[in-house]
Structure 1
């Protein structure tokens, strides 16, 4: 005799499986029809188990309450007669007439987390029925909504804010039939420290799905922001027609992945499956899920489409694990975090010397170290050389890996090789898949090159794929600012700040836009919200002082900037001198910036701070040396 009998509609098996596994992990014996063998005795076997089990969990769903759910209703009737009936809901439905006396416990979108209070309510009720004790009082659970957790964008935590008594989200575009968001997969490994693996699986699925022609995939940040949302709510807020969700259970030798594709309009399941494989088959699982999703959405895959799903990956399970652990979203943006990421990536590459994605990520980490954490120019140059060699290796292994070209473009842009950077971004964008980081970098470089219409199109694509990511909105705001559309730039920057009030970049765009709109008091208020003594704040306050006729105040802020930052902000000194009307000093600073390859020079073509000196022949000389792409 089993402790628990589970009654459910056969088509819901994948969704019911986490509940069975969780109860068995608690030491309870569970019988469900997955145990039925062949032969003609299956009805007798079901009836015997149903009549003898101490507790009968009846799973109510859209399918089990429907016209084909008569077996579930019959089993529920028998359980009621024996006072063994325990109803749960996996969809937002009411049990059929006659089965509502005991309120069903909702476990809608529960993926197997045994610490979840909804599961704990089910477990408490099961134990009470099995032991013959009184049932605990039912607890009402609200359906999960938008997660109130912090979102991570560009390595910095950004807090979601409440607006008008609800959680602020951007108004999404109308859902497209072939559009999808992959929500984070639940970690069922029993170890919270394994969450990186389930998150990594979901991100690799996003990458694979994005390479399927005709399928639009929402990027990571916006998807993770709605980690705990109901599928219909997530689909509406992200403007997609489909949601892919699931769970991952990893052991030392095997991996089990449950995946479910849900129609975002009605919440109905379109496809589901379970995968039990050795750890080395992770790449094959990802490809299998991506192919199944395409088939469920009636997207035909050609041979080439199947091949691109695995570009740059590895079949070595240990290398895959190290790669997941090296994720920038998991590690902080300190020097220690960068060093740990490098250590993990070096180990992954040692295990699989042809792991192209690991080489590409390694190059990006080295670039950040060179330009943010290097203590000397020599150290920075050495790390930049290593970074370039690493991404070149990624491109050599996998010429169709967009991440390789995007990482190289970032390195070349830092070195002011703007033509080379633009060529690499063009290659990356032409390859299968939509990488939001590529789109943002492409938009920035196009805007700096005065190709404003193209920059805005790229920025809008990034925002449509990652609508809840403040970084995407910042890039759109910058594209508008560089096009001198200051009113619109300020509006988009404010939208970014509604999501992430602490973002300094959006605040800077807003303050600068207000400055050029001659709204000086508002601009001053926004500059004061930047970090004290940040060079962008000192720059803005210097220009405001000049406007107010306070030349001494402007020079005082310039002097403070020079004392604090030395030769690391030569470009900004040129901006202040230009606004002061000291043309010779402005060009002296810009020539020095050219010698040190100051990245600020990439924006000189469209910089309003340099307008007073733009017609000077020396300006065109510097512009020519930078070799801006046409």
Structure 2
């Protein structure tokens, strides 16, 4: 029996193979009809595999929805009857009658990256039906969409992003008027070379980033914008709750770059502004600035000196340096060790071409900090890389003091080393400079929630949802703020509603278990824990706490040892939680002291964590708080 059966039209085999390869790389066994040998009783084999598979992915395309796709439609019906149906869209098509109730997961244009949000959404759906992968491969995102080691060691909350079309229905955008809102869809790559897609996508992201710096303009984030890349302007605007859509295309040749851009009214579909640029390749940066300024004018945003400076802050005039940075950003979206090393090297190359390229320094700082928190080989390397990241971010700020990305990078580095006061200061500055940045909003909201400022955390997370309604980040931050505020029932209800209405935006069952344990609902908590990977540190902590609370303390050391084998010192804060629940205060405080030495970001929530409650009356707890010196 295979974990996953893939149903598709034979003519789409080449397009389906990257999905099969990615699922197998994640450790799942996959059956598709390429495995039928000569002379096999193929109808019987297909039916047998279809009936036995834990999960059935049905790939909808222009071919499979048409009259010639009846075999795929029959397989989809069988999958629905067995409740193992996961629909995937290769093309922007209307599903056959009877298959439209469940939102299909978009995969058009996907290049095979396992950490890309669209694949992660599919992986999350497969995990719920098929359970943990049976092989030894480790998910690029940690198995459930959260990078477990990254969360422990203090990596950016942005690392947990998973997106899927349809999330906008749960939290409709409300804070900005339609006229003052825009989504920049990925620009089409018309160069005839798929490897150049990074450049057309990068142009759109550069425009998105520039427009997000303009006060009064709501700019939808990258994740949501890319999720609707195949929709027409009116459909995309409706899904994202915006009044305007900026779209376009890029065609490159050795001698020319042609960029076409159109600003479209999202309600009427009428073009508000358009321009075609035919320039030499080195003029791409000038074109971007011109597009951003024309869009601002078309939306009646007056461009004074500050706004023009904001659009161009931290940039470069060297087109080759810009290309290298765009390649770096594309590479790091995969999130694995090799990808981050590649991103750092490409950012270095961009800096070598333009030593004053502040945005290259800022992104290198973010990449280095992410790498340090996730892949450092021991404490000395962790300390060295974090120091390198800090110095790199400070160089970016010396070059461009008003570059929001540099302040954001510095805030993230301060956060992971638990220097909370300076982190909050830098988040505030970054938000002032880029008020429409979902990444800044989510990361700032996350630290505020951990520190107990749930009101502000929820407000900022709602803004992030408003700006990037198809990304999981802000939903997770919203949940985390409720959890930190001890609003446990609300946190559970929020997660259940999200999973019920848009399941691909929910991927933290093991943390829902924490809220249930706090309410004494241990059986419900255990049901959620079974949905997480067996080596997930939050699952292990909750399992140990449940054992301690049900008179099975003798079984807890085995759980702690399993955590040590997987995480070593990186889970020091989690050991403290378990020891506190066991009543072993000496070991709990020893673990907390170690957590402080390695700057375990779990300490951010020590004042709000119910598992630490048994320690609060001990003088050593007050001493720890004084040492950490977190702001009130």
1:304–1:565 Cα change, 3 Å: closer
Alpha-carbon distance in 1 for matches of 2:404, 2:249 = 28
User: For residues 142 and 499 of structure 1, what CA distance do their matches in structure 2 show?
Assistant: 20
Partner in structure 2 of residue 94 of structure 1? none
2:462 pairs with 446, 460, 463, which one? 460
The match for 1:370 is 372
Deviations for 1:14-36, whole angstroms, at most 9, x for unmatched residues?
xxxxxxxxxxxxxxxxxxxxxxx
Residue of structure 2 in register with 1:486 after alignment: 488
Q: Could you tell me how far 1:244 is from its partner in structure 2?
A: 0.9
Tell me if 1:159 matches 2:121: yes
Structure 2 counterparts to residues 52-67 of structure 1, below 5 A = none
Aligned match of 1:359: 361
Among 602, 605, 618, the residue aligned to 2:604: 602
On the 8 A contact 2:186/2:200 being kept in 1, the answer is yes
- Shift of the 579–627 alpha-carbon distance from structure 1 to 2, 3 Å rule, reads same
Deviation of 1:496 after TM superposition, in Å, equals 5.8
Identify the match of residue 343 of structure 1 among 337, 342, 345. Answer: 345
For normalisation by structure 2, the TM-score amounts to 0.73
Closer, same or farther: CA 409–351 of 1 in aligned 2, 3 Å = same
Aligned to 1:322: 324
Task: Give distance in 1, aligned partners of 2:202 and 2:473.
Answer: 21
- Relative contact order higher in (CA < 8 Å, ≥ 6 apart): 2
The DSSP-based 3-state class of the residue aligned with 1:312 is: coil
> Where does residue 149 of structure 1 map in the other structure?
107
Q: For structure 2, which runs of at least 5 residues remain unmatched after alignment?
A: 1-60, 64-90, 96-102, 126-163
1:384 paired to 2:386: yes
Residue among 189, 192, 212 paired with 2:191: 189
**Aligned equivalents of 2:269 and 2:528: distance in 1?**
43
Matched, 1:507 2:509: yes
Provide, for residues 79-136 of structure 1, a one-character-per-residue CA deviation record: whole Å limited to 9, x for no partner.
Answer: xxxxxxxxxxxxxxxxxxxxxxxxxxxxxxxxxxxxx989xxxxxxxxxxxxxxxxxx
Moved more, 317-326 or 587-596: 587-596
1:577 offset after TM fit, Å? 1.2
C-alpha displacement of 1:329: 6.2
1:427-450 CA distances to partner (integer Å, 9 max, x unpaired)?
111214422211111111112222
What residue ranges of structure 1 are gaps of 5+ in the alignment? 1-115, 119-139
How far does the alpha carbon of each residue in 1:585-606 deviate from its partner, in whole angstroms, 9 at most, with x for none?
Answer: 2222212222332221121111
C-alpha displacement at 1:195, in angstroms?
0.4
SS of aligned partner of 2:199: helix
Counterpart selection for 1:313 from 300, 303, 315: 315
Return the offset for 1:154: 7.8
Within 1, Cα distance between the matches of 2:271 and 2:592?
A: 60
| Aligned position for 2:168 | 170
**Which of 621, 624, 629 is the aligned partner of 1:619?**
621
In structure 2, the residue matched to 1:111 is none
How many Å apart are 1:224 and its aligned residue?
0.4
CA distances 1:20-58 after superposition (whole Å, capped 9, x unpaired): xxxxxxxxxxxxxxxxxxxxxxxxxxxxxxxxxxxxxxx
Residue in 1 aligned with 2:258?
256
For 2:626, what is the secondary structure of its paired residue?
helix
**CA contact under 8 A between 1:422 and 1:442: conserved in structure 2?**
yes
1:502 CA drift (Å)? 9.1
Cα separation, 1, equivalents of 2:518 and 2:372? 34
CA-based RMSD: 2.7
Which residue in the other structure is 1:129 paired with? Answer: none
State how far apart, in whole Å, the 1-side matches of 2:424 and 2:235 are: 38
Contact 1:206–1:217 (8 Å) recurs in 2? yes
| Partner SS, residue 309 of structure 1 | helix
Distance 1:154 1:440, change over 3 A: farther
Tell me what 2:549 maps to: 547
Answer whether contact 1:158 1:502 (CA < 8 A) is retained: no
Q: Does the CA contact (< 8 Å) of 2:441 and 2:464 recur in 1?
A: yes
Q: Is the 8 A contact 1:271 1:293 kept in 2?
A: yes
Is the Cα–Cα contact under 8 Å of residues 188 and 250 in structure 1 kept in the other structure? Answer: yes
CA displacement 1:501-522 (0-9 Å, x = unmatched): 5975x23332222222332222
Q: Residues of 1 paired with 2:331 and 2:179: CA distance?
A: 30
User: Match of 1:50?
Assistant: none
Asked if 1:527 corresponds to 2:525, the answer is no
Counterparts of 2:114 and 2:469, CA distance in 1: 12
Q: How far 1:358 sits from its partner (Å)?
A: 0.5
Task: Give the drift of 1:357.
Answer: 0.6
Measured in 1, the distance between the counterparts of 2:505 and 2:438 equals 22
Matches within 5 A, 1:160-309: 168-171=166-169, 172-174=172-174, 176-309=178-311
1:82-101 alignment runs, 5 A limit: none
**Aligned partners of 1:141 and 1:592: how far apart in 2?**
52
Q: Measure the CA separation in 1 of the matches of 2:204 and 2:105.
A: 17
User: What is the CA–CA distance in structure 2 between the aligned matches of 1:580 and 1:351, rounded to whole Å?
Assistant: 57
SS at structure 2 position matched to 1:259: strand
